[in-house]
Amino acid sequence: MTKSKGKGKFKRSDFKKIGKDVVFEDGVRVFHPENITIGDGAYIGHDTVLEAYHKNEMIIGGGTWIGHGCFFHSAGGIKIGKAVGIGPGVKILTSVHKEGPLSKPIIHNRLDFGGVVIEDGSDIGIGAVILPGITIGKGAQVGAGAVVTKDVEPFTVVAGNPARVLRKRKKE
């Protein structure tokens, strides 16, 4: 396995832990793989960026499918459960620059960190954005293009900007 590490290539031994049968499509970029754990059978689509950080961890559970063109920035930590579906173009952010004095550019202000947790069996629609500090419960579904600003309860369907509850998933 050799692909980009931001610049250059990465290999299995670069990761904190990596399972069997993990697929990295062409163009995947990985930063700080030493802070990334990926479970068995995970799939990472073309041109996805897994940007771990010098602290905190990114954990991707076994059997999780990540579509092409995603961007995961785990400065605050990301924990993705098992068998999670993540559509193309999804963004997961775990830090934000706080506002400060008007004389100071926002980018120079302090960062606040908030980990993101996506529990087992959830599904994140194409182009959704998950903001810092969010937990998406087990079996929840996030609609395409949603901007998730609040936690999502297990087995709940949300959509919109900001995401709002549409309904609970029905038991079989």
User: Cα-flanking dihedrals φ and ψ of residue 166, to 5°?
Assistant: -100, -40
pTM over 0.75, yes/no: yes
Active site residues: 97
Let me know how long the chain is.
Answer: 172
Coil, helix or strand at residue 164 = strand
What is the predicted pLDDT for the residue at 109? 92
- List the CATH number of the domain containing 120: 2.160.10.10
Residues 108-164 pLDDT 10s: 999 999 999 999 999 999 999 999 999 999 999 999 999 999 999 999 999 999 999
Domain count of the fold of the chain: 1
Q: Looking at the predicted structure, is the pLDDT value of residue 4 above 60?
A: no
Rounded to 10 degrees, the C-alpha dihedral 63/67/71/72 comes to -10
As a whole number of angstroms, the distance between CA 123 and CA 160 comes to: 15
Q: What angle do CA 77, 163, 25 make, to 5 degrees?
A: 50
Across the beta sheet with 17-18, the strand order is 17-18, 36-38, 58-60, 78-80, 116-118, 135-136
Model confidence band, residue 6 (pLDDT cutoffs 50, 70, 90): low
Residues 56-68 pLDDT 10s: 899 999 999 999 9
> Can you give the residue range of the structural domain that contains 78?
3-168
**CB-side neighbour CA atoms (13 Å) of 156:** 17
Query: Considering the chain, what percentage of its residues have pLDDT values greater than 70?
Result: 95
Q: Looking at the predicted structure, is the pLDDT value of residue 7 above 70?
A: no
The answer to whether 44 and 65 are in contact (CB under 8 A) is no
